[in-house]
A and B are shown apart, each in its own frame.
Chain A
């Protein structure tokens, strides 16, 4: 989808379940699941909420994938 993320890794580091992270970010578990699986790119607002919930910056979680990076 053009964006890769390390959400699953960061979540695992903090021993958080998808449901817990979802509650912290104010979305449903399905959203977290879809983002982790690469089926959805979150909005800026949701990306910021997730980053805040994980206590890291957005750039540490989300980045452009290689194909998109080379095109820029």
Chain B
């Protein structure tokens, strides 16, 4: 009686891991594009970046959708999903990743302020602030997702 739930929870975990890898890829791509747009003031370079930005975003979305479709539909209240979501190893890894990501985000504020203050000192005011916010969000999300995937790897 327990075997199907075990198999399905393993399937769900590997599906969930693939989804998180796709999400990490999307966050990196969107973060890089957003920063490139913010760092490049309006002009030919900005127009090129904004036009080219659609290609990797489209690729990332297509890949994510395909990966999702390859998995089956998971009911949130199904036993295997509940087992995986309440799993202590999963929670432990997510907590560890969140704690480290918080520290990384806090420690990066001062260097980021210096970096964006120097790089974008000639730009109008809202732009450097937005760039720093964007960099902080991207850094936090990438750190958390990346560390979770690292901690959660099969050893």
B155: chain A residues at CB < 8 Å are 33, 37, 39
Q: Is the Cβ of A31 less than 8 Å from the Cβ of B87? A: yes
A26: chain B residues at CB < 8 Å are 83, 86
Known: A34-B89, A40-B92, A46-B88. A28 touches B10 (CB 8 A): yes
Q: How far is the CA of A20 from the CA of B83 in the complex (A)?
A: 14
Q: How far is the CA of A39 from the CA of B84 in the complex (A)?
A: 18
Q: Is the Cβ of B88 less than 8 Å from the Cβ of A40? A: yes
Q: How far is the CA of A19 from the CA of B10 in the complex (A)?
A: 9
Contact among A19, A23, A30 for B87, CB-based, below 8 A: A30
A31: chain B residues at CB < 8 Å are 87-90
Tally of A interface residues using CB under 8 Å: 19
A24: chain B residues at CB < 8 Å are 2
Q: Smallest distance from the beta carbon of A68 to chain B beta carbons, Å?
A: 19
Contact among B3, B84, B88, B90 for A23, CB-based, below 8 A: B3
Q: How far is the CA of A29 from the CA of B154 in the complex (A)?
A: 11
B152: chain A residues at CB < 8 Å are 30
Q: Smallest distance from the beta carbon of B93 to chain A beta carbons, Å?
A: 9
Known: A20-B2, A23-B2, A37-B155. A28 touches B9 (CB 8 A): yes
Indicate whether B13 reaches chain A with its CB closer than 8 angstroms: yes
Contact among B10, B86, B92 for A29, CB-based, below 8 A: B10
Residue of B nearest to A17 (CB): B6
A sample of 10 more A-B contacts (CB under 8 A), given A20-B2, A42-B88, is A19-B6, A23-B2, A23-B6, A28-B13, A29-B10, A30-B152, A30-B154, A31-B88, A34-B92, A40-B88
- Could you name 28 residue pairs across A and B whose Cβ atoms are closer than 8 Å? A19-B6, A20-B2, A20-B6, A22-B6, A23-B2, A23-B3, A23-B5, A23-B6, A24-B2, A26-B83, A27-B83, A27-B86, A28-B10, A28-B83, A28-B84, A28-B87, A28-B90, A30-B87, A31-B87, A31-B88, A31-B89, A31-B90, A33-B89, A33-B155, A34-B89, A39-B155, A40-B92, A43-B88
A interface vs B, CB < 8 Å? Answer: 19-20, 22-24, 26-31, 33-34, 37, 39-40, 42-43, 46
